[in-house]
Amino acid sequence: MTALPRQLPEAVSIREWREDDFPSIQALSAAERWTTPVERPDAAVRAWRSSRPALVAVVEGAVVGFVRCISDGAVTTYVAELLVAAPWRRRGIAVALLDAAQARVPGSRLDLLATSESRSFYERMGFRAFHGFRMSWNERKA
């Protein structure tokens, strides 16, 4: 990704997500006003089960961040969700999550849709801007 110097705080570790992380994922998402894990928990947990790489950052047993990706295993790894809890931001956790995810699918490129708030983060990481589009199920049916 990028050659920015970074050192993950010692207390932080990154591992594969587990089913019992889901309540923490819901809480972190709710704090960010991401509605799907709270309003459609069954769909969200199914999405996590089908996603790979899907990783969490943990401090003393508590989930403080996560990345959920969908990959074809070779060419494209799509970053569906990336979130770090507000008190833990700007310590290198997001970049460590992205690095760990990409390392699990060596050779693949990362694609994603940024929000207006996260755009500067991805630019800082050296991502190139593309024009993304999104249409939800309900919009398509409308």
Ligand X SMILES: CC(C)(COP(=O)(O)OP(=O)(O)OC[C@H]1O[C@@H](n2cnc3c(N)ncnc32)[C@H](O)[C@@H]1OP(=O)(O)O)[C@@H](O)C(=O)NCCC(=O)NCCS
| CB-nearer residue toward ligand X: 1 or 75 | 1
Q: Which is nearer to ligand X, 13 or 74 (CB)?
A: 13
Whichever of 89 and 104 has its CB closer to ligand X, that residue is: 89
In the bound complex, what is the minimum distance in angstroms from residue 21's beta carbon to ligand X? 16
Least Å distance, CB 59 to ligand X, is 12
Which residues of the chain form contacts with ligand X (CB under 6 A)?
Answer: 4, 6, 32, 82-84, 89-95, 114-115, 117-118, 120-121, 124
Q: If DSSP codes are grouped into helix, strand and coil, which group holds residue 69?
A: strand
The CB-of-49 to ligand X minimum distance in angstroms stands at: 21
Task: Please give the full DSSP string across 71-140, using - where no structure is assigned.
Answer: E-SSSEEEEEEEEE-GGGTTSSHHHHHHHHHHHTSTTPEEEE---TTTHHHHHHTTPPP-------HHHH
Rounded to a whole number of angstroms, the minimum distance from the CB of residue 85 to ligand X is 8
Beta-carbon count within 10 A of 29 CB: 18
Collapsing DSSP states into helix, strand and coil, what is residue 33? coil
Return the number of the residue (4 or 74) whose C-beta is nearest ligand X: 4
